[in-house]
Chains A and B, each alone.
Chain A
Amino acid sequence: MDANELLNWARGPGFDIALVIFIGGMLLRLLEVLALGKKPDLSAPRGSGLSGGLRTIFSRFLPRKQVFDKEPLRIVNAYVMHLGFFVVLFFYGPHIPLFESVLGFGWPALPSGAINAVGAVTILSIVAALIFRMNSKVLRFLTTTGDYVAWLVTLLPVLTGYLAYNHMLLPYTLMLALHILSVELLMVVAPFTKLTHMFSFVTARWYQGFKAGQRGVES
């Protein structure tokens, strides 16, 4: 199989398979969690669950001071990583037609050079995230094999994208095929690792915020 054949497979059947597993898997996981339900709360609510839930979805984008003060570097790095990934994914010109084919509309792209720089920073921050994790005894203990897999499948698309754009290591066509395949790997793995948080952060925050809101406590 030559590079062009691999690229055609990745853009054709490969993407379809990955998309089915990604969407089907995510819905399965979310439905499974939501259907577990919760015990009826018999006490009279002291506050609004609705406003507590909505507030918490947004308020938890910012860290609590006590938590931030403990590990400022790790938290700043996590911001860099998440924002970098977001910018590279959604604002690199050639990525936009992909979303356009799903959503039916697109948006303006950022200059490729800027994306390249953000990509480099993102790669470094993903590596740094692992180093922070390895250096903490508690985090190391809590990390499962699935978490390492999640880390790897997050790194690969950014890394292969950077190498492809800069024509490094392998011929462009092959690197582009590997880049698309690595994204498909991420899509396949995501529903079955902690990467589900890309969607479940909303429901989890809502749940916590709703409970806290009804009890009239801060969340």
Chain B
Amino acid sequence: MNDQTLGERLRQRGVSRRGFMKFCAATASMMALPPMMIPKIAQALEQAKRPSVIWLSFQECTGCTESLTRSHAPTIEGLIFDHISLDYHHTLQAAAGDGAEHAREEAMKAHWGEYLLVVDGSIPLGANGDYSAIAGISNLAMLKEVAAGAAAIVSVGTCAAFGGLPMANPNPTGAAAVEDIITDKPIVNVPGCPPIPTVITGVLAHFLTFGALPELDHLKRPKVFFGQNIHDRCYRRPFYERGEFAETFDDEGARKGWCLFKLGCKGPTTYNACATARWNEGTSWPVEAGHGCIGCSEPRFWDAGGFYKPLSAPFNNIGDTILTAGAAGLAVGAAAAVLNRRTKSDAVKNRETITIKDLSKES
């Protein structure tokens, strides 16, 4: 079955040529490739053998897997996902216990140096990595073992890419990102909480089409999907420009679809494809649903002072800070005033009378 090409398998599953070409065109436009690349993508995908994929889930909530498998299951993206050889994914696979681990070991042996490693979840480094283990193997040990034979690693979700919620202050488990641990393999970060399904399939399609990973930004995110600023692509941007902001979630401004900046929208500092690719097969996205962007594809969004604090507002309760500062200022000011008065009175007391005789004295 592994020798079947993707094209053959898609036809077997009843996907028409037209449907397949539409998917290729959508993939090309999503990856900002020129239309002349569409036949090339089609040809490459058609002939692609099923790559072996090992999916490791560490400290995570399974939201990334939910996002990828469930919401897009009936689409062609879903089929493409079916047609990679997902040799190990302990949430999805039928095998359990030792059988599951054997499947991983066999896949690693059979495709050593060629398989794609997908990771979701962060890796705990605290207590020698003992906070999380699968089949008695710590996450840290398993990552290192599987990464050694991988052609490339895709860190899916913000936890694997940047540490995510497990890393939130005070980071009790010492959670770390994949790229903090593995430094000698090509890594693509596909952050998001969860990431957009089409972005994941897009990265995989790119790998199948070109045999290489897409161009990355400074945070190792594929530029084609994470090159766009949410704020710049937001359909509510004109309201921001006009200075029209919703003040609460149910005021007139909110009903009129005004900018959500004051309700804590992190769009200006967030790079993701939500505003253009959207969610649930292009139905909507958070800002369109009336909630500000929480910046889930950015590092440290979890410690950014709260989802509902405007980006320009300070984190902490300013009232207390002002009172403390005021009291301190007054106390130090009073002390300085006493010192100044003493200097003044000392100067008056110790004033020496200077006569014309003193001034005319030769020095």
Q: Which residues of B contact A8 (CB under 8 A)?
A: 300, 303-305, 315
A47 within 8 A of B: no
Chain A window 89-101, contacts with chain B (Cβ cutoff 8 Å), 1 for yes, 0 for no: 0000111111011
* A98–B262 CA distance with the chains assembled, in angstroms: 10
Q: Which residues of B contact A19 (CB under 8 A)?
A: 314, 318, 321-322, 325
B310 within 8 A of A: yes
* A22–B329 CA distance with the chains assembled, in angstroms: 9
Give the residue of B229, B240, B301, B325 whose beta carbon is less than 8 angstroms from that of A112.
B240
B336 within 8 A of A: yes
A41 within 8 A of B: no
Q: Whose C-beta in chain A lies nearest to the C-beta of B219?
A: A2
B326 within 8 A of A: yes
Q: Is the interface of A mostly helix, strand, loop or mixed?
A: helix
Give the residue of A2, A25, A93 whose beta carbon is less than 8 angstroms from that of B245.
A93
Contact B326 A27, beta carbon cutoff 8 Å: yes
- Residues of A4-39 contacting chain B, CB below 8 A: 4-5, 7-8, 11-12, 15-16, 19-32, 35-36
Contact B318 A101, beta carbon cutoff 8 Å: yes
> How many residues does chain B have at the interface if contact means C-beta atoms less than 8 Å apart?
45
> How many residues does chain A have at the interface if contact means C-beta atoms less than 8 Å apart?
45
Q: Whose C-beta in chain B lies nearest to the C-beta of A92?
A: B243
Q: Which residues of A contact B337 (CB under 8 A)?
A: 31-32, 35-36
Q: Which residues of B contact A173 (CB under 8 A)?
A: 269, 298
Q: A19-B321, A101-B313 known; A31 and B300 CB under 8 Å?
A: no
A172 within 8 A of B: yes
B183 within 8 A of A: no
A40 within 8 A of B: no
Question: Which A positions have Cβ atoms within 8 angstroms of B?
Answer: 2, 4-5, 7-8, 11-12, 15-16, 19-32, 35-36, 93-98, 100-102, 106, 108-113, 167, 172-173, 176
